[in-house]
Amino acid sequence: MIANTKTISLAFGSMALELDIPERNISSIILPSEPEIKENGVPLIKKALENPIKSRRLSEIVKPDSKVAIIVSDVTRPTPTAKLLPPLLDELYLGGAKDENITIVFALGLHRNQIEEESRKLVGEQVYERIRCIQHDTGRCRRIGMTSRGTPIEIFENILDTDVVIGIGSIEFHYYAGYSGGAKSVLPGVSSKETVITNHKMMIDEKAVSGRVDGPVRQDMEEAAKIFGLDFILNVVLDSKKEIVAAVAGDFIEAHRKGVEVVDSMYKVPVEPADAVVVSCGGFPKDINLFQANKALDNATQAVKQGGSIILVAECAEGIGNQVYECWNRECRSPDEAIERFKICFEFGGHKTAIIAKISKKFKLYLVSKLSDKQTKSAFFTPMQNVEDALYAVLLENPDAKIHLMPHGGQTLPVRKEN
C-alpha cells in the first residue's frame, strides 16, 4: 500500500520541480506570511517617494542643474528596477532634474560585468535609451576616508563627482550583512576590491548573521555610506512571486529599518528543528550559481537538528559563480583544510568554501543542480540527479525522518523555537 503523499513544487531556475513526499514525513512547509496584494507596485512606490522617512522629498533635494547618480542592483538581484525607475525619475523631474545630468550605475560590487542585453532588461528599454547607464569599475575608485573599524572607503569615481546619490534595491535577509538593501548600494555596490574585502572579513563575527542589523558588516557598511554621503534610498520588499508588497524611501538607515520590519513580519518563521530540510532558493536569479544559492542553504541550517540532512535545490546555470570560490573548492581537499586556510588567509570567494565546509561538518549536504558531480563534491555536497533521489537517500537512512520543506529558502528565515 502506497503511503499518502503530498506534492510540492520547488523552483529550479525558471522552471519548477515536483516532489512527492509521504505526508507522515512532513514536519512543516515553511512559508512566508505574505500579505494579500491590495495594490500593485507602482502606487506603493509613488506613495513611498511622496512620503519619505526622515528626509525631504527628492523633488525638494534636486535642483535643475544637479548631477544625479542612481545606483541600481545588478543581474544577480531580484530588484524590479524597471518598475522603480519611472516613478523615481518623475519625482526627480518634478524638482527640475534633466536626463543629461542623470547617470544610472549598476552596483556590481565584485560581481562580473553585465552584457548590454541584461542592462537593458534591468532598467527597461525606454530608460536605457534615454539615460546614461554605466557599470561599476573596481579599478576606478578613489579613497575618501576610513571607517572606525579600519575599512578604507574607496568609491567609484564617476559617483564622487555627482551632487545627489540615490540607492535603489530590495530588502531581504542576507547571511552576513543581516539584510540586503540600504547602505549596500554603496558598500559593496560601488566600492573598491580592498574596501569590500576589508568589510567582508568581519563576516566571521558571531553577530554577522541573517536577520540582525547590529552585526559589524552592516554597521561598517552604514558608516561608510554616511561618510560618503548616500542622500536617499528607494527600497522594496518582494513576496515569493517577486511582487512588490512594500516600498520605503528616504534616509538610508531609517527607511531601511522600516523595510526590515516588514521583512521580519513576513519571513521570520518559528520552527522546531527537524531531521532534514528540502530547500529551494526560489528559482532564478537566486540560484543562478552556487555562490548565490548558498544563501538559501545558510537560512535552512536553522531548521535542522545537528547531524541532520539538507537537500539544496538550485539550478546553478552559471556554475560556481566565482573564480576564487571555484579555486578554493578544487584546492581544499577536506572541510578541515578549508576552515584552517580561511583562518590564515581571508580571500573573497574563499569565504564561501570555508562557510560550506563548516556547515558540512554539522549536516549531510545534498545538492540537486546542473553542476557536474566533480564540482558538487569539491564544494562538500553529495550530488543528486534529482530531488526524489535525494529524498530517498534521507528516508533510506531514517524512514521516520521528519522533514521541513522550504520552497522559498532565499527569503525565509527559520527561527529555532528552542532559542
Q: Are 142 and 66 contained in the same domain?
A: yes
Q: Are 256 and 286 contained in the same domain?
A: no
Whichever domain contains 315, its CATH number is: 3.90.226.30
What confidence score (pLDDT) does residue 1 get?
35
Domain boundary among 243, 266, 289: 266
Q: Measured between alpha carbons, how far is 377 from 11 in angstroms, rounded to an integer?
A: 23
Domain boundary among 239, 266, 293: 266
291 within a domain of the structure (yes/no): yes
Q: Are 342 and 361 contained in the same domain?
A: yes
Closest-CA residue to 179 (of 414, 411, 355, 349): 411
Whichever domain contains 63, its CATH number is: 3.40.50.11440
Q: Give Cα separations from 12 to 85, 296, 302, 369, 376 (angstroms).
A: 29, 13, 22, 8, 16
408 within a domain of the structure (yes/no): yes
35 within a domain of the structure (yes/no): no
| Dihedral over Cα of 274, 277, 282, 286: its sign | positive
375 within a domain of the structure (yes/no): yes
36 within a domain of the structure (yes/no): no
Q: Are 341 and 224 contained in the same domain?
A: no
208 within a domain of the structure (yes/no): yes
In sequence order, the 6+-apart residues with CB closer than 8 A to the CB of 395 are 22, 25, 401
205 within a domain of the structure (yes/no): yes
pTM: 0.82
Contact, 155 vs 191, CB < 8 A?
yes
Contact, 131 vs 219, CB < 8 A?
no
Number of domains in the chain: 2
Q: Are 278 and 175 contained in the same domain?
A: no
Q: Are 200 and 338 contained in the same domain?
A: no
Residue by residue, pLDDT tens for the chain (419 residues) are: 356 999 999 999 999 999 999 999 999 999 988 887 667 789 999 999 999 999 999 999 999 999 999 999 998 888 999 999 999 999 999 999 999 999 999 999 988 899 999 999 999 999 999 999 999 999 999 999 999 999 999 999 999 999 999 999 999 999 899 999 999 999 999 999 999 999 998 987 889 889 999 999 999 999 999 999 999 999 999 988 889 999 999 999 999 999 999 999 999 999 999 999 999 999 998 999 999 999 999 999 999 999 999 999 999 999 999 999 999 999 999 999 999 998 888 888 999 999 999 999 999 999 999 999 999 999 999 999 999 999 999 999 999 999 999 999 988 999 988 54
What confidence score (pLDDT) does residue 3 get?
67
- Around Cβ 306, how many Cβ atoms within 10 Å? 9
What confidence score (pLDDT) does residue 110 get?
87
Q: Measured between alpha carbons, how far is 406 from 31 in angstroms, rounded to an integer?
A: 7
Range of the domain at 396: 5-30+272-416
Q: Are 239 and 294 contained in the same domain?
A: no
364 within a domain of the structure (yes/no): yes
Q: Tell me the one-letter amino acid at 377.
A: K
Q: Measured between alpha carbons, how far is 195 from 217 in angstroms, rounded to an integer?
A: 12
Q: Are 179 and 327 contained in the same domain?
A: no
Q: Give Cα separations from 160 to 140, 144, 148, 186 (angstroms).
A: 11, 9, 21, 11
Domain boundary among 266, 292, 314: 266
3-state SS record for the chain: CCCCEEEEEEEECCEEEEEEEEHHHEEEECCCCCCCCCCCHHHHHHHHHHCCECCCCHHHHCCCCCCEEEEEECCCCCCCHHHHHHHHHHHHHHCCCCHHHEEEEEECCCCCCCCHHHHHHHHCHHHHHHCEEEECCCCCEEEEEECCCCCEEEEEHHHHCCCEEEEEEECCEECCCEECCHHHHCCCCCECHHHHHHHHHHHHCCCCCCCCCCCHHHHHHHHHHHHHCCCEEEEEEECCCCCEEEEEEECCCHHHHHHHHHHHHHHEEEECCEEEEEEECCCCCCCCCHHHHHHHHHHHHHHEEEEEEEEEECCCCCCCCCHHHHHHHHHCCCHHHHHHHHHHCCCCCHHHHHHHHHHHCCCEEEEECCCCHHHHHHCCCEEECCHHHHHHHHHHHCCCCCEEEECCCCCCEEEECCC
Q: Are 95 and 232 contained in the same domain?
A: yes
Contact, 416 vs 271, CB < 8 A?
yes
Q: Are 248 and 357 contained in the same domain?
A: no
What confidence score (pLDDT) does residue 417 get?
82
Q: Are 125 and 251 contained in the same domain?
A: yes
What confidence score (pLDDT) does residue 177 get?
95
Q: Are 315 and 389 contained in the same domain?
A: yes
